[in-house]
Amino acid sequence: MIFKTNGRADIEAGLFFTFFGAATAALSLQYRMGTIAAMGPGMFPFILGSILAVLGAIILAKGILGGGEKARPLPLRPTILISLSILVFAFLLLTVGLLVALPVQVAIAMWASEHFTWKRVIALSLGLLAFCYGVFVYFLGMSVPLLAV
Range of the domain at 93: 76-139
Look at residue 14 and tell me if it is in a domain: yes
pTM greater than the 0.85 cutoff = no
Phi-psi region of 107 (alpha: psi -120 to 50; beta: other; left: phi over 0): alpha
Look at residue 17 and tell me if it is in a domain: yes
Cα gap 30→20, rounded to integer Å: 16
Work out how many domains the chain is built from and give that number.
2
Instruction: Tell me the pLDDT tens digit for each residue of 79-128.
Output: 999 999 999 999 999 899 999 999 999 999 999 998 899 999 999 999 99
Verify that 46 and 89 share a domain, yes or no: no
Q: What is the DSSP string of 81-128?
A: HHHHHHHHHHHHHHHH-HHHHHHHHHHHHHTTSTT--HHHHHHHHHHH
Instruction: Tell me the pLDDT tens digit for each residue of 121-145.
Output: 999 999 999 999 888 888 878 888 8
